[in-house]
Chains A and B, each alone.
Chain A
Amino acid sequence: MEASLDAFKRANTQVLGVSIDSVHCHANWARDLGGVSFPLLADFQPKGAVAKSLGHYLDGPGITDRATVIIDKEGVVRYSESVTPAGSRDMAELLAECEKINGSGSAAPASTKLSSGTTLFVKSACGVSRRARVAIDNLHASKDVAIRNVSDDAAAKAELLKSGGKDQAPCLVLEGKYMYESGDLIAKLADTLAPLL
């Protein structure tokens, strides 16, 4: 899926993954898949509500079915098919379906590069530092972000304190700005590298 994201973007289609797993479960799984930059949504509270509303919740096992729904620009459901949990999707067919529904209109794929010098200061044994690193992997940005660990690098710690004002990690340095709030910095990375259409 990740490989065909640009083709779906050209067909003016925002791809969203949905299951009943939690957000953190999604992030770790996504990284193990090689990184997933499109939103994986947690249909978690109440469990399966979105899947139920679109008829793709399996009451027996209490999970979402493996199914695909395409909604057009007017918000109308145009395609809704299950391949069963054991089945697999035909991405080429789904892309053709999206292109047909979209007609000739196209959104220019919005892609932004991180500015050079983007740095993430992290701490060892720190859950939020780890989450920030998982997000960077999901956004395929590990080559574009310098990771500096303040727990075992005294120079990094001193530099963070001097330039950012606090030696608290995680801290993202993006375009000269120091972001210390972990939720904000992860969302900022996602909005920069994988903006929603």
Chain B
Amino acid sequence: MTAIGEKAPTFVLEDQFGRKVDSAKFIGRCNVMILFYPLDWTPT
């Protein structure tokens, strides 16, 4: 498990528009905020 201050693992996951989102592409460009949520049909 990654702790604060460590490099985050990168990942490629598909979004609701069918786009493959590659987290490595944000490095050097912008910050990323990941909102984990338990299941769909629950609030974000």
B-binding residues in A (CB < 8 A): 1, 8, 11-21, 23, 25-27, 29-30, 32-33, 36, 39-44, 49-56, 58, 61, 63-80, 85, 88-89, 94, 98, 101-102, 107, 135, 138, 183, 186-187, 189-191, 194, 196-197
- Please tell me the size bucket of the interface on B: 35 or more
Expressed in whole angstroms, the minimum distance between the Cβ of B30 and any Cβ of chain A is 4
Expressed in whole angstroms, the minimum distance between the Cβ of B23 and any Cβ of chain A is 8
- Docked pose: A41 CA to B16 CA in angstroms: 7
> Are A80 and B4 within 8 A (Cβ)?
yes
A residues less than 8 Å from B28 (CB atoms): 73-74
A residues less than 8 Å from B36 (CB atoms): 18-19, 51, 54, 56, 64-69
Residue of B nearest to A105 (CB): B30
What would 14 more interface pairs be, CB under 8 Å, given A54-B9, A73-B31? A17-B44, A39-B19, A50-B11, A54-B1, A65-B36, A66-B36, A68-B36, A70-B31, A70-B32, A72-B31, A74-B28, A77-B7, A79-B4, A190-B15
B residues less than 8 Å from A44 (CB atoms): 13
> Are A16 and B34 within 8 A (Cβ)?
yes
- Docked pose: A183 CA to B37 CA in angstroms: 26
> Are B11 and A107 within 8 A (Cβ)?
no
- Docked pose: A80 CA to B38 CA in angstroms: 16
> Are B14 and A41 within 8 A (Cβ)?
yes
- Docked pose: A41 CA to B40 CA in angstroms: 11
B residues less than 8 Å from A54 (CB atoms): 1-2, 8-9, 34, 36
Residue of B nearest to A194 (CB): B17
- Docked pose: A74 CA to B31 CA in angstroms: 8
